[in-house]
């Protein structure tokens, strides 16, 4: 058991990778699985994938429990010392993102097993590769491997995006692929510029070396930071790079769109790690490189997102635009560059991810019971489960609009409190409160059309989508937001501690690079002496 505990940080990466390989060997043929033999293979693929994802959740919860005590676990692959070898790092933030990924993935996979996985080939293997890429991005300790894991999750998402086929999916998928390939090329440019001036890509090492680069050489480092902001802003759907998301997410199948709800958070996470820590307040001449840009862009993203939701003609596109609005709110909190604001961002991000994922599943449940009208916001035949689906819609709308006592309200209240005395306080209050009100208006309008504006001459379309498996998965995601309210105090303490830990660059450097490393903004050489770490100026 001690051996397993020592290797626990790499399991979130290895487990889905091994599962995906096993599923490819098994031959999960999905839509091509004709006859009893093919159906039997698909059933086994579902069982293996669900068991693996459940185990993935348990591993992530264990890592989060360990990280809650403040321990930063560094796993050196091949026992090569950092910064020369590959290192995986699990701190409070990484463990939180892993757990959030698992909490979203398990209900989504359960939902997909209700029939969506049979619409195309190798759904479960691709799903596991997606989990591998997400987990790797959240635990990697260096920028180059962040790029590698970005590519793993993106390659899987390219195929999942078009899963089930359809002209609209192929069209949106083509745009998605081209734009992401462009962003990947820019990622390499930013990484190359940063490496040229610092000689390292290890995040802990970068946090120590970037402050040592003084002007005028720091201009190149700042340029690298701005290029990386473009890349991460595209991944996170930050304005003006957010216009690809609504069409892409609205075109994807419901379980794929729900899983994609966590993908934008990879960009958010990368901005926290790189621009919040490496280019943070103690980065010397490169300190807070993106601060003048991040907050105004985030507020604009939130405003554009909510207006896009108000103009949407389908429920799925409305939810996609709300994804953009929620990212803007999270990024606005990050743009305040303070520990309380970062804590608020993490808390609100967890809630918004669960709500958006649940809404994507709910949109398909409603569409399946409205016949040819699907999820278009127009009068149609009545749904067969108006009470159940209506209550789920009400719960999701209340949480997305930040009504008390749901966690959306708690998260936004934390953001408003954190903006006190900030130069942009008035703008933050206006946008955060205004976006919440308009979100409620948009979802109320959608709910009234879907559940009240009926065409009585049309008969009900039956109970399609009323499967307990599909409803249960949707309820699990939306119910998780209620659980966040019940456990609001311990969750807030966790996000508070995670934000403070992010600011402790010295502790992160010691955990990753060794006890002989210290945190400084001046040029130092590090000497390791028996019993204690000391530092001596050059």
Over residues 199-216, the pLDDT tens digits come to 889 999 898 899 888 888
pLDDT at 431 over 90: yes
Q: What is the pLDDT of residue 79?
A: 77
Q: Which two tokens stand for residue 331?
A: 């990024």
Q: What is the pLDDT of residue 29?
A: 57
Q: What is the pLDDT of residue 458?
A: 60
Q: Which two tokens stand for residue 132?
A: 């591998």
Q: What is the pLDDT of residue 170?
A: 74
Q: What is the pLDDT of residues 49-102, one digit of tens each?
A: 999 999 999 999 999 999 998 889 988 887 777 777 889 999 999 999 999 999
Domain boundaries, the chain: 2-513
Q: What is the pLDDT of residue 244?
A: 86
Q: What is the pLDDT of residue 464?
A: 56
Q: What is the pLDDT of residue 1?
A: 57
Q: Residue 122's pLDDT band (boundaries 50, 70, 90)?
A: confident
> Mean pLDDT, the chain, as a whole number?
85
For 518, list phi and psi in degrees, rounded to 5.
-130, 165
Q: Which two tokens stand for residue 149?
A: 């894991």
For 336, list phi and psi in degrees, rounded to 5.
-75, -20
Residue with tokens 């993490």: 346
| Residues paired with 202 in a beta bridge | 142
**CA–CA separation, 180 vs 155, rounded Å?**
10
pLDDT at 488 over 70: yes
Q: What is the pLDDT of residues 273-326, one digit of tens each?
A: 999 888 988 888 888 888 899 999 999 999 999 999 999 999 999 999 999 999
pLDDT at 462 over 70: no
Q: Which two tokens stand for residue 239?
A: 């304005």
Of the ranges 57-61, 107-111, 396-400, 511-515, which one carries the lowest mean pLDDT score? 511-515
Of the ranges 38-42, 218-222, 237-241, 516-520, which one carries the lowest mean pLDDT score? 516-520
For 537, list phi and psi in degrees, rounded to 5.
-70, 145
Q: What is the reported pTM?
A: 0.89
**Cα 400 vs. chain centroid, distance in angstroms?**
16
Comparing C-alpha atoms, which of 427, 268, 266 is closest to residue 342? 268
Q: What is the pLDDT of residue 172?
A: 72
Of the ranges 191-195, 443-447, 521-525, which one carries the lowest mean pLDDT score? 521-525
Report which DSSP code applies to 338. Answer: S
Q: What is the pLDDT of residue 519?
A: 45
Q: Residue 459's pLDDT band (boundaries 50, 70, 90)?
A: low
**CA–CA separation, 387 vs 32, rounded Å?**
37
Q: Residue 451's pLDDT band (boundaries 50, 70, 90)?
A: confident
> How many CA within 13 A on the CB side of residue 499?
21
pLDDT at 503 over 60: yes
Comparing C-alpha atoms, which of 389, 391, 366, 387 is closest to residue 376? 366
Average pLDDT over residues 353-358: 94
536 against 67, higher pLDDT: 67
Cβ(449)–Cβ(378) below 8 Å: yes
Average pLDDT over residues 513-532: 44
Q: Residue 520's pLDDT band (boundaries 50, 70, 90)?
A: very low
Of the ranges 93-97, 448-452, 495-499, which one carries the lowest mean pLDDT score? 448-452
């Amino acid at each position: 058991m001690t051996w397993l505990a020592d290797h626990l940080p790499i399991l979130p990466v290895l487990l889905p990778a091994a599962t995906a390989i096993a599923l490819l060997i098994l031959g999960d043929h999905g839509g091509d699985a004709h006859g009893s033999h093919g159906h039997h293979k698909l059933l086994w693929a579902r069982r293996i994938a669900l068991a693996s994802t459940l185990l993935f959740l348990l591993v992530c919860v264990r890592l989060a429990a360990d990280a809650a005590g403040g321990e930063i676990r560094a796993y050196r692959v091949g026992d090569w010392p950092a910064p020369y070898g590959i290192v995986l790092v699990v701190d409070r933030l990484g463990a939180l993102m892993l757990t959030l990924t698992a909490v979203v993935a398990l209900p989504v996979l359960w939902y997909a097993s209700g029939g969506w996985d049979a619409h195309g080939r190798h759904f479960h293997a691709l799903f596991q590769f997606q989990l591998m890429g997400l987990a790797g991005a959240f635990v990697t300790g260096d920028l180059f491997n962040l790029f590698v894991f970005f590519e793993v999750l993106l390659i899987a998402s390219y195929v999942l995006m078009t899963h089930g086929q359809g002209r609209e999916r192929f069209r949106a998928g083509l745009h998605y692929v081209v734009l992401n390939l462009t962003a990947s090329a820019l990622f390499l440019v930013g990484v190359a510029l940063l490496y040229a001036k610092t000689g390292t890509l290890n995040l802990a090492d970068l946090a120590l070396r970037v402050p040592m680069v003084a002007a005028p050489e720091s201009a190149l480092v700042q340029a690298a930071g701005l290029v990386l902001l473009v890349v991460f802003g595209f991944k996170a759907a930050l304005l003006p790079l957010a216009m690809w998301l609504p069409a892409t997410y609205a075109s994807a199948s419901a379980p794929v769109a729900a899983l994609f709800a966590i993908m934008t958070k990879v960009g958010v996470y990368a901005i926290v790690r790189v621009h919040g820590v490496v280019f943070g307040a103690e980065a010397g001449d490169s300190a807070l490189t993106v601060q003048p840009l991040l907050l105004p862009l985030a507020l604009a993203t939130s405003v554009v997102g909510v207006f896009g939701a108000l103009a949407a003609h389908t429920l799925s596109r409305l939810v996609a635009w709300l994804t953009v609005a929620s990212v803007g709110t999270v990024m606005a909190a990050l743009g305040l560059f303070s520990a309380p604001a970062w804590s608020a961002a993490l808390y609100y991000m967890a809630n918004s991810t669960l709500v958006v994922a649940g809404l994507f599943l709910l949109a398909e449940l409603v569409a399946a019971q409205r016949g040819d009208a699907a999820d278009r916001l127009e009068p149609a035949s009545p749904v067969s489960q108006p009470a159940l689906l209506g209550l789920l819609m009400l719960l999701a709308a209340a949480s997305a609009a930040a009504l008390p006592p749901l966690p959306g309200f708690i998260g936004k209240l934390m953001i408003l409190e954190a903006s006190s005395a900030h130069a942009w306080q008035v703008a933050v209050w206006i946008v955060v409160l205004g976006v919440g009100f308009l979100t409620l208006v948009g979802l109320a309008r959608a709910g009234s059309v879907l559940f009240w504006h009926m065409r009585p001459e049309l008969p009900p379309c039956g109970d399609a989508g009323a499967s307990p498996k599909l409803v249960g998965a949707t309820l699990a995601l939306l119910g998780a937001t209620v659980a966040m309210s019940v456990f609001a105090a311990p969750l807030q303490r966790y996000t508070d501690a995670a934000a403070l830990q992010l600011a402790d660059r010295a502790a992160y450097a010691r955990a990753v690079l060794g006890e002989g490393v210290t945190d400084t903004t001046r040029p130092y050489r590090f000497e390791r002496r028996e019993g204690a770490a000391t530092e001596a100026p050059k």
